[in-house]
Amino acid sequence: MNGVYLTLKEAAEYLSMPEPQIENLIFQKKIRAIHDGDQYLIYKDQFNTHMKQVEKYKMLVEEILNEPVPEDIDIKDED
């Protein structure tokens, strides 16, 4: 394989997603893939933008998670 295409299994590992989810995205035409009569081959370069977005998202989530948690305000406090 010339590295331009991924198998379903490789794409699932690459995107950290379960294989059935990748398959659904192929059926929904959200992921470009060809079927070689035997298996799906997924065009790897289409994920370059996706991976950049995922990285941005992960960084954003980490920033949010690293923010100090405000003191717990008890809403049911009825003095």
Q: How high is the pLDDT of residue 1?
A: 44
| Position 78 confidence tier, pLDDT thresholds 50, 70, 90 | low
Q: Is residue 75 part of a domain?
A: no
Q: Is residue 62 part of a domain?
A: yes
Does a structural domain hold residue 76? no
Whether 74 is in a domain gets the answer no
> Which pLDDT belongs to residue 62?
87
pLDDT at position 46 is: 86
| pLDDT score of 42 | 92
Q: How far is it, in rounded angstroms, from Cα 54 to Cα 43?
A: 18
Which structural domain range is residue 60 located in? 5-66
What are the residue ranges of helices labelled H in the chain?
Answer: 8-15, 19-27, 47-66
Token digits for 51?
Answer: 């991976």
Q: Model confidence over 26-77: pLDDT tens digits?
A: 999 999 999 999 999 999 888 877 778 778 888 888 888 888 877 776 666 5
Phi first, then psi: give them for residue 39, nearest 5 degrees.
Answer: -155, 165
Q: Is the pTM of this model over 0.85?
A: no
Domain-located, residue 56: yes
Residues in the chain: 79
User: Would 12 be classed as within a structural domain?
Assistant: yes
CATH number for 11: 3.90.105
Token pair in block for residue 22: 């990748």
Provide the number of structural domains found in the chain.
Answer: 1
Do 6 and 42 touch, CB atoms closer than 8 A?
A: yes
